[in-house]
Amino acid sequence: MKILVTGGAGFIGSAVIRHLIDDLGYEVVNVDKLTYAGNLESLENISSNPLYSFERVDVCDFNEMARVFETHRPDKVMHLAAESHVDRSIDGPAEFIQANVVGTYVMLETARQYWLKLDDEKKGNFRFHHISTDEVYGDLEGTDDLFTETTPYAPSSPYSASKASSDHLVRAWNRTYKFPVVITNCSNNYGPYQFPEKLIPLVTLNALSGKPLPIYGKGDQIRDWLYVEDHARALVKVVFEGKDGETYNIGGHNEMTNLEVVKTVCAILDDLRPDHPNGISKYEELITYVADRPGHDVRYAIDANKIKQELNWVPDETFESGIRKTVSWYLDNETWWTRVLDGSYQGERLGMAS
């Protein structure tokens, strides 16, 4: 069994690849353009494994993607390659349209042309898995409402609009061409190897350096938090067991306000790293409130009953167990995040052929 994973050098993609190889023993082809968020050092432990191969390719490049399919002959595709940071999408939406919309179209067409040439058995087993986000659903109004797989789309940011567009393309290819697909929409991920622009690693590393911990508005935005290794297990389960044309929402069953998340990280650091910087007595003293970002959704929450009932998946980690593992990982892996912060992790890619 050979799986083609796009965006495999990213945060979630690298977790998926480690799970596929280390835990399941499958062959994996990692296709990644290596933008700023792609870090091959997140795959250092499996980089020399004979089950692993890497292609530095832009998913928007038709010719190169066709070559990758013909060279590696994958049995299934897991499409994670995407620009994913909301703030960056507000400042520069064009990159998000290109990567998330055009890139998904190119992947669908190259995969479909490849699929059409397969024999009946391989064609029947082939699956294109598109990994998306709960942000396509927009904002929840009530405190008891949950996103289900039939919630109407109402994206708020250029990022979420580009992901909503790509979701629609995937469904159209399934309905028009009978191309076998599954879609997953997940809640906020956290865990080891996450790029430090995201909330939890940003707060952790800023706190260690005695820098301000920025909180948008009052910090009352609510998110459902999903440990990345739980997510990786769910994604693999869906690509193998999910029903053709179906959507599965993946959530962590952990609703927290952003302020609660930041205070939890601070409390763990108080316990694990009590030598506070800059004369403070608690890391919480570094919290700073900043102006809210445009179009900031207040609450996301996932109803994950469908994947539980149909595929028997539930997360292993509670937020309490997962966040402690995460903060401990950053404390124990300073070399990894130091190289990200100073940009030296990009050195290897600069010398690579594209």
**How far apart (Å, rounded) are the C-alpha atoms in residues 5 and 13?**
7
Distances in Å between the Cα of 87 and the Cα atoms of 93, 161, 231, 240, 347 are: 10, 13, 23, 34, 25
Distance of CA 275 to the CA centre of its chain: 33
**How far apart (Å, rounded) are the C-alpha atoms in residues 167 and 347?**
34
204-227 per-position pLDDT tens digit: 999 999 999 999 999 999 999 999
Question: Hey, which residues does 79 pair with through a beta bridge?
Answer: 6, 130
> How do 255-257 and 222-227 pair as beta strands?
antiparallel
Which positions ≥6 away from 11 have C-beta within 8 Å? 37, 42, 189, 191, 193, 194, 195, 198, 228
Q: What is the CATH number of the domain that holds 179?
A: 3.40.50.720
134 tagged catalytic: yes
- Residue 272 has a CB neighbour count (10 Å cut-off) of 12
**How far apart (Å, rounded) are the C-alpha atoms in residues 190 and 324?**
11
Q: 188 exposed, middle or buried (CB, 10 Å; 0-12, 13-18, 19+)?
A: buried
Contact 35, 7 (CB under 8 A): no
280 is in which domain, residue-wise?
2-261+267-350
Spell out the SS3 assignment of the chain.
CEEEEECCCCHHHHHHHHHHHHHCCCEEEEECCCCCCCCHHHHHHHCCCCCEEEECCCCCCHHHHHHHHHHHCCCEEEECCCCCCHHHHHHCHHHHHHHHHHHHHHHHHHHHHHHHCCCHHHHHHCEEEEEEEHHHHCCCCCCCCCECCCCCCCCCCHHHHHHHHHHHHHHHHHHHHCCCEEEEEECEEECCCCCCCCHHHHHHHHHHCCCCEEEECCCCCEEEEEEHHHHHHHHHHHHHHCCCCCEEEECCCCEEEHHHHHHHHHHHHHHHCCCCCCCCCCHHHHEEEECCCCCCCCECCECCHHHHHHHCCCCCCCHHHHHHHHHHHHHHCHHHHHHHHCCHHHHHHHCCCC
Helices 158-177 and 103-116: angle between axes, nearest 10 degrees: 20
Q: Which of these is catalytic: 159, 193, 283, 300?
A: 159
16-53 per-position pLDDT tens digit: 999 999 999 999 999 999 998 899 999 999 999 999 99
Contact 53, 72 (CB under 8 A): yes
Predicted pLDDT at 351: 36
Q: Which of these is catalytic: 32, 64, 134, 255?
A: 134
**How far apart (Å, rounded) are the C-alpha atoms in residues 48 and 38?**
18
Contact 136, 164 (CB under 8 A): yes
Q: Roughly how many angstroms between the first and final C-alpha of the chain, as a whole number?
A: 27
Predicted pLDDT at 78: 99
Q: Please state the domain count of the chain.
A: 1
Q: Which of these is catalytic: 135, 167, 224, 229?
A: 135
Kindly list the strands in the beta sheet with 222-227, ordered across the sheet, starting from the edge strand earlier in the chain: 188-190, 222-227, 255-257
Predicted pLDDT at 292: 87
159 tagged catalytic: yes
Nearest to 184 by CA among 241, 142, 115, 102: 241
Predicted pLDDT at 340: 94
32 tagged catalytic: no
Q: What residues in the chain have per-residue pLDDT under 70? A: 142-143, 347-354
